[in-house]
A and B are shown apart, each in its own frame.
Chain A
Amino acid sequence: MVNPVLFIVVPLGLAFAIPLLKYISKKIIRFVPALAFLFNLIFALRLIPVVMDHQVHVQIGGFIPPLGINLVAGPVGMLFVVLIALVGFLVSIYAFHPIKEKDEDRYHILYMLQLTGATGVVLTGDIFNLFVFFEILCLASYSLVAYLGNRAGIESAVKYLIQGSLGSGLILIGIGLLYGQFGTLNMADIAGRIHSVQSISVYVPLVLFITGFGVEAALFPLNAWLPDAHSSAPSTISAVLSGIAIEVGLYAVLRVVFTLFGITHMMGLFLLLGVLTLLIGELCAFSQDNIKRMLAFSSIGQIGLLVFAFSLASTLGIAGGFFQLISHTLGKALLFLAAGYMIAHTGSMEIASFQGMGKRMPFTSLAFTIGAFSMVGLPPFMGFPGKFMILKAALHDGQMLTLILLVFILIATVIEGAYFFRVVQVLYFAGEDLPDRERAPVAFSRFVPMFLFTGLIIVLGIYPSLITDLLDASALELLDRPDFIKSIIP
């Protein structure tokens, strides 16, 4: 069994080593990220059966948890580690062909640091350590958004930087308040004591955490940075931002709400917030002409749906939420990669410029179409079981508020269908009268990740039972708080 700390240390060490490897050969550095995340993927998958049986706890530096920092590799953590490694590996194949001629090494270093930060956030059991890794994730994201070096990129990176830093500041204040009251930074230790003080004095840190992490998780009033940042970043980075970064932000919110604070009574508010985020995201996406902005707004909508599912706070709802989260990660990464490849050929992000792509780039168009269908929730793709599980959980919940909100979710899905079908229609059926242009050349490194993402979306759409055990275990980890605390602080 591999020590889970290596999932953080190996990519970090390789990122540190890239400037030295550059002396040996400039060519090999582009393969380093793929190597690191392939390592993570293989060993994380092998660790999954172990964590299904029992959580794996790792001490660092040889000190027992409340004194030192610990890592908690439970089902939730490992689910995210596998997802990050999978997306990290496939997207890094896409970058075998350089994104930009200059500064290639910095791109790979920042890319690896970004995903290392994400891995650290989901594995750590210490709230301050979580903040440190969250900072690595955010800082790398800010600079990668500006990587292309055009005005739009730098402007949106600055917007992202300002909002993100404000959020980080709030988180740090929240951590300070908690440390002052409990004298400890270990999440399980704090969780075990949180109900021993007046609720008002933990209410403020809770609000600070939700606001701070909510910026990265793109919850409704805090997501103004997202459409600009996701649309002006390089396509590989858009895929990672949409597929990993906001999900990790959401993970932090979940960990804080469910595990750290053990909140059970304000779920109505979160349900409402989720549906609001969903409706606004989908409505904005509907009115976009720019394909990447459309996808970015669609991510906001999907996050809303996830918040709704998790706020049901039932095993069914949370398992459904995790399924939809994986489905969104794979689908949105595929959509951004496919859209990026088409943009590279047309030189324009306007949806209208994609006329006749179905003939010129048949495989990319097909991949985009499958991603879009999965997003909308059509069988046999992965979005269908995801949305179906959330629907079932909401009906099972049966409260009046949930049922009313469910109507809005269905309306939002119809809107989502409308704008995705519009793109698919442009790809295949518009511009029949255009002169036949020859097919675009095939780049191997671009096709492999798209092919694999497509394959995963179809396989998991047909056999959702492949992962449902892991998802149920993850839901249980979030809901069974006393067990989580007892396993770390006996």
Chain B
Amino acid sequence: MRKLISIILLGMVATGLFMSISQIPFGEPGERIGDHFINQGVNETGATNIVAAVVVSYRGFDTLGEVSVLFTAAMGLGAVIGLVRRKKTHTPIEPASLIVYTGCRFLFPVILLVGTYIVIHGHLTPGGGFQGGAVIASAFLLMYLGCRGKRIRENLSRGLESLGGLLFILLGVTGLVIGRDFLFSFLPEGEAGNLISAGIIPLIYMAVGLKVGSELTGIIDHLIEDTDELPE
């Protein structure tokens, strides 16, 4: 009986979703806002990467929100995992093999460089603060795997995280201070395609990259700790 009801309900939802989706024209031009972004995006924001133009310029407030969502998640994880008492006796760490160790040391700066490149060129090529930040954090993950026993300084990563967030907010508030809107692009757009162009988009992406990179590194650091039984 219960299964029958579930199946009927599922069928109803599926039919509804299908009828709703079948109304949506796929791949056809004529969506007012989408078209505007594609045709006018480069002119209005100076960013050749339209995704960056939408994410940072047109819908920059959402990005501030998303950065805060990640910040909340990292803080929440820290608060919940921090509850668990650290083990007094650490199990001895088995060192990584020579190949892994050497490989990590070789790749670490290269990955950092690639991540930074992706962040800085976010307004020109695919990528941006979130993606670059994730790449940077992956370099630290590799270091944890290869050079076991080395740890990042938690205070430093949390400080950078804060700085990134504050920088984003300060860039936004500057728009208000000069008498325009929050997150208004107060720098000249420059020539599209140049590294220094697109107003405040690269600056915001750097703030986001800093924040996301240090935040994800912090999350990895938290998850890697030895954990003990929950206190009653």
What's the minimum C-beta distance from A179 to chain B, rounded to whole angstroms?
9
* Cα-based distance from A13 to B76 in the complex (angstroms): 18
Q: Decide: A151 near B232, CB < 8 A? Known: A16-B166, A61-B181, A107-B79.
A: yes
Q: Is the CB of A183 within 8 A of B33?
A: yes
Question: Which of B59-67, B98-106, B113-121, B139-147 binds A?
Answer: B59-67
Distance in angstroms between the alpha carbons of A132 and B80 in the assembled complex: 22
Whether B68 and A116, one on each chain, are in contact in the complex, defined by CB atoms closer than 8 angstroms, is yes
CA distance A207 to B173 in the complex (A): 38
User: B19 to A200, Cβ gap below 8 A?
Assistant: yes
Which positions 188-223 of chain A face chain B at CB distance < 8 Å? 197-198, 200-205, 207
Instruction: Bits for A1-38, please: 1 = Cβ < 8 Å to B, else 0.
Output: 00101100100110111111001000000000000000
Which of A18, A149, A184 neighbours the largest number of chain B CB atoms within 10 Å of its CB?
Answer: A149
CB contacts under 8 Å to A, within B102-151, are: none
Min Cβ gap A56→B in Å is 13
User: Which residues of chain B are within 8 angstroms of A19 by Cβ–Cβ distance?
Assistant: 158-159, 161-162
A172 at the interface (CB under 8 A from B): no
Which one of A61, A128, A198 lies within 8 Å of B23 (CB-CB)? A198
Does B95 make an interface contact (CB < 8 A)?
Answer: no
- The verdict on B165 contacting chain A, using a C-beta distance below 8 Å, is yes
Q: Is the CB of B82 within 8 A of A154?
A: no
Contact of B172 among A9, A142, A147 (CB under 8 A): A9
CB pair A67–B232 under 8 Å, yes or no, is no
A201 in contact with B20 given A12-B68, A110-B72, A147-B79 (CB within 8 Å): yes
A16 close to B162 (CB less than 8 A): yes
Query: Which listed residue (B24, B58, B75) contacts A109, Cβ 8 A?
Result: B75
Q: Which of chain A's residues has its CB closest to B64's CB?
A: A12
**Min CB–CB distance B188 → chain A (angstroms):** 14
Q: Are A68 and B76 in contact (CB under 8 A)?
A: no
Cβ-based interface call for A229 (8 A): no
Per-residue contact bits, chain B 34-49, to A (CB 8 Å; 1 contact, 0 not): 1011000000100000
| Cα distance, A140 to B80, chains bound together (Å) | 11
Which residues of chain B come closer than 8 Å to A116, judged between CB atoms?
A: 68
With an 8 A cutoff between CB atoms, is A59 at the interface?
yes
Query: In the bound complex, how far is the Cα of B161 from the Cα of A59, in angstroms?
Result: 28
**B71 surroundings in chain A (CB, below 8 A):** 15-16, 113
Q: Determine whether A465 belongs to the interface, using a CB cutoff of 8 Å to chain B.
A: no
In chain A, residues 126-145, which have Cβ atoms closer than 8 Å to a Cβ of chain B?
A: 128-129, 132-133, 135-136, 139-140, 142-144
The reply to whether B62 and A69 contact each other, CB–CB distance below 8 Å, is yes
The SS class assigned to the B binding surface is helix
Q: How far is the CA of A59 from the CA of B181 in the complex (A)?
A: 6
Say whether A129 contacts B182, CB under 8 Å.
Answer: no
> What's the tally of chain A residues with a CB closer than 8 Å to chain B?
67
Please, which residues of chain A bring their CB within 8 A of the CB of B22?
201
Contacts of B19 in A (CB 8 A): 200-201, 204
Known: A23-B159, A103-B79, A180-B21. A66 touches B33 (CB 8 A): yes
Q: Which of B20, B175, B180 has the most CB of A within 10 A?
A: B20
| A15, A19, A180, A203: residue with the most chain B Cβ atoms closer than 10 Å | A19
Give A128 to B175 CA distance when docked, in angstroms. Answer: 23
B50 at the interface (CB under 8 A from A): no
Residue pair B61, A129 in contact (C-beta under 8 Å)? yes
The distance from the CB of A169 to the nearest CB of chain B, in whole angstroms, is 13
A439 adjacent to chain B (CB < 8 Å): no
A172-185 to B contact mask, C-beta < 8 Å, 1/0: 01000100110111
Known contacts A103-B78, A154-B80, A204-B16; can you find 11 more A-B pairs with CB under 8 A?
Answer: A61-B60, A62-B180, A69-B60, A103-B82, A113-B68, A132-B66, A132-B69, A136-B65, A143-B79, A149-B230, A204-B20
25 pairs, CB–CB < 8 Å, chain A vs chain B: A6-B176, A13-B165, A13-B169, A15-B71, A16-B166, A20-B159, A60-B60, A61-B181, A62-B181, A67-B37, A69-B61, A113-B75, A117-B68, A128-B62, A136-B72, A140-B72, A143-B76, A143-B79, A146-B83, A149-B230, A150-B231, A173-B17, A177-B21, A203-B20, A204-B20
Q: Tell me the A residues contacting B by CB distance below 8 Å.
A: 3, 5-6, 9, 12-13, 15-20, 23, 58-63, 66-69, 102-103, 106-107, 109-110, 113, 116-117, 120, 128-129, 132-133, 135-136, 139-140, 142-144, 146-147, 149-151, 154, 157, 173, 177, 180-181, 183-185, 197-198, 200-205, 207
- Which are the 8 A-B pairs with shortest beta-carbon distances? A143-B76, A149-B83, A16-B165, A183-B31, A132-B65, A180-B24, A204-B16, A204-B20
